Chains A and B, each alone.
Chain A
Amino acid sequence: MYAYDEIDRTLVNERVSEFRDQVKRRLSGELTEDEFKILRLQNGVYLQLHAYMFRVAIPYGTLATNQLRALAHVARKYDRGYGHFTTRQNIQFNWIKLAELPDALADLAKVGIHAMQTSGNNMRNVTSDQWAGVAPGEIEDPRIWSELIRQHTTLHPEFSFLPRKFKIAITASDHDRAAIKIHDIGLRLIKNEKGETGFGVLVGGGLGRTPFIAKTIKHFVHGRDILSYIEAILRVYNQYGRRDNIYKARIKILVHELGTEKFSREVEEEWQHIRNSLLQIDDEVIEDIRSRFTYPAYEKLPHMPDELRQAAADRDFEAWRKNSVAPHKVQGYSIVTISLKPTGGPPGDATAEQMDALADLADKYSFGEIRVGHEQNLALPHVAKRDLPALWKSLDKLGLATPNVNLITDIIACPGLDYCSLANARSIPIAQELTRRFANHELANLIGRLHINISGCINACGHHHVGHIGILGVEKNGEEVYQITIGGRADESAALGNLIGPGVKFDEVADVVEDIVEAYLALRERPEELFIETVKRLGVEPFKERVYATR
């Protein structure tokens, strides 16, 4: 956990009082909506279909239990008793009142949580691997660097009015759980031959109307130079990024239009001017930040405790353990993913009661720490293996033990037309229907790892381009129509999916997905060949034939 010091707390409080003044001026008419819009966006406040929506940052996906309880409190006191975890380590409240927002922010500030830059054309929440600090084989904890970058990009005096939003993600594992290749800047933490920490820097990834996979512009930037290098990228973007067309304003378009080589030369030139400046980070500064991350005092525990051996006889427990429990870097411990994808439920939603209860479980079983992943699930990062059976029972009572992590019903979905003013079609009911169709665990398990991602419009908040099966809702002649892609992925081998054919109607989507899955089961070479591998081997054609033969 990162503990805020007095300096961080002061800044958050100063921001709350500034926003309070802005809301006051808005409600009195001193600020027009046109003026206020940017100010509210800079603090995570959107206008959705039914109400304002309030997005709160969970930097690099790490939460302490008092913070999760504060989120539950906001859900209960200022909203309708639940929150929605997003694909970028944020939580959204859908029914917030503008007049009450400053109070909600003040309540969150008490536990070091804020909503700064969770929307608007500025640097968004810095995200990272939800298993950071506990994943076996990780080079080092990427959250130290995430925090350093978070601070540097918070209320930045030069880059708070960029051409468009700007997202940074960091990973330090071979397997990329942070989806860095679909970010404006993706940082891959590595060591050079001297054993020094640095980053491979990727730029220009992003989804939306014009999706791109990020390109590497520098293979190694030393850790001490990472702030100046990011500053150089942002300065080039701030000056040359397009501002004439919102759909061409992201850095991915600038990189594409200039070409990766020319873009990286521009950055390099700018960087040479500023690398030997106050932006250079010395080891002591890094150590200071590192010292404020606390790690649990792990016990020496057996690899296979009796409790776990005994529970193995319970089929339901085993089904859950097999897909929700992952190896931990410390023997005797596990990382437990908490599925927020119950059958028939909206993906990523959690009630205030669930959040409070989960905070209690985290205190009891996970050293008071919770993580949030981009797949819209939560995790308990330090669970002793002997506690797994007891934890499972408690989670099950809360409706938080659906054994579907990484399976076909572990769906990513944006809020869609049920909530969002940008959406053209609904996403959540599609996800709900799919979770019902594939509710049978044996079937889901037989299918194996398969990610379905659903967006309700071209802005791609549901990451449809990089779903193994991607579903994009559009509107055609007043009707919801869904375009389906296959073969996308968001990990270290990130790729964009390919369209399988003409769009289908709302009621047909689940049928089409069933057809695709049946085709896969018939086509795979062996049970271990994942859906995504079969698509890679065979291409879109055989799936297309199967889906459209009878349509």
Chain B
Amino acid sequence: MTSPLEQKKIKIAGPSVVTANRTWDGIVVYRTAAKGWSADLSEAAIVRNSDDAKALLAESVADDVGAIGPYIAPVQVGEDGKIEPGNLREQIRRTGVTIGQPVQV
């Protein structure tokens, strides 16, 4: 696998976060400013320019034991500072499947 850092120049169109899946159980996590991972999007570190995005991704990739497959994902930041996913895929990753599951959890 090519490292995501080598794949292409990182260009972001707006506020973004780094997201991945936690290694031991696979749940969706976001990179925090404290150099850790959180399952809560509101705790994610927000980057607003390419250099910061690149740096955040680099430290995320380096934490290979913590989480896997990190990438930059767009978010929307509301006037109240509330962070929401920036596209359908990320919305689904955050809130779960859009269909009823056979067994409610």
Seen from chain A, the residues whose Cβ lies within 8 Å of a Cβ on chain B are: 26-29, 32-34, 37, 47, 49-52, 80-82, 95-99, 345-346, 349-352, 417-419, 426, 428-429, 432, 478, 480
Contacts and interface: CB of A to CB of B under 8 A. Distances in A.
Could you say which of A50, A351, A417 has the most chain B C-beta atoms within 10 Å of its C-beta? Answer: A50
A80 B64 contact: no
B96 to A, nearest CB: 7
A351 B26 contact: no
Contacts of B69: 33, 47
B103 interface: yes
Given A50-B28, A99-B24, 5 more contacts: A32-B64, A49-B28, A51-B25, A418-B98, A428-B97
B64 A33 contact: yes
Contacts of A28: 65
Given A49-B92, A429-B98, A80 B105 contact: yes
Contacts of B27: 50-51
B45 interface: no
What 6 A-B pairs are tightest by C-beta distance, nearest first? Answer: A81-B103, A51-B26, A52-B26, A97-B25, A418-B97, A82-B102
Contact of B68 (A33, A351, A426): A33
Contact of A346 (B1, B65, B87, B102): B102
B93 interface: yes
Interface in B73-105: 87-89, 92-93, 96-99, 101-103, 105
7 contacts: A49-B92, A82-B103, A96-B26, A98-B25, A349-B102, A351-B103, A352-B103
A346 B25 CA distance: 24
For the residues of B in contact with A, the DSSP-based class is loop
Contacts of A96: 26
B50 interface: no
Contacts, number: 80
B38 interface: no
Contacts of A349: 102
Nearest to A79: B103
A538 to B, nearest CB: 35
B72 to A, nearest CB: 15
B31 to A, nearest CB: 16
Interface of B: 1, 21, 23-28, 64-65, 68-69, 87-89, 92-93, 96-99, 101-103, 105
Contact of A428 (B1, B23, B99): B99
Contacts of A37: 1
A49 B87 CA distance: 13
B92 A417 contact: yes
A82 B96 CA distance: 16
Contacts of B101: 80, 82
Contact of A81 (B23, B64, B102): B102
A307 B1 CA distance: 62
Contacts of B1: 34, 37
Given A47-B68, A51-B21, A478-B87, A418 B99 contact: yes
Nearest to B89: A417
A49 B93 contact: yes
Contacts of A345: 102
Nearest to A27: B24
Contacts of B65: 27-29
Contact of B102 (A27, A350, A418): A350
Contacts of B28: 49-50
Nearest to B103: A81
Given A82-B103, A417-B88, A47 B64 contact: no
Given A33-B69, A417-B88, A50 B24 contact: no
A191 B64 CA distance: 55
Given A50-B28, A99-B24, A29 B98 contact: no
A456 to B, nearest CB: 11
A417 B99 CA distance: 11
B55 to A, nearest CB: 20
Contacts of B97: 50, 418-419, 428
A47 B24 contact: no
Contact of A426 (B21, B93, B98): B98
A47 B26 contact: yes
A17 B101 CA distance: 33
Given A29-B65, A34-B1, A417-B89, A47 B99 contact: no
Could you say which of A37, A49, A478 has the most chain B C-beta atoms within 10 Å of its C-beta? Answer: A49
A410 to B, nearest CB: 18
A480 to B, nearest CB: 7
Contact of B24 (A32, A81, A97): A97
A29 B102 contact: no
Contact of B23 (A27, A50, A95, A351): A27
Contacts of A429: 98-99
Contacts of A52: 21, 25-26
Nearest to B74: A478
Contacts of A29: 64-65
B39 to A, nearest CB: 11
B63 to A, nearest CB: 10
Nearest to B97: A418
A82 B98 CA distance: 17
A378 to B, nearest CB: 15
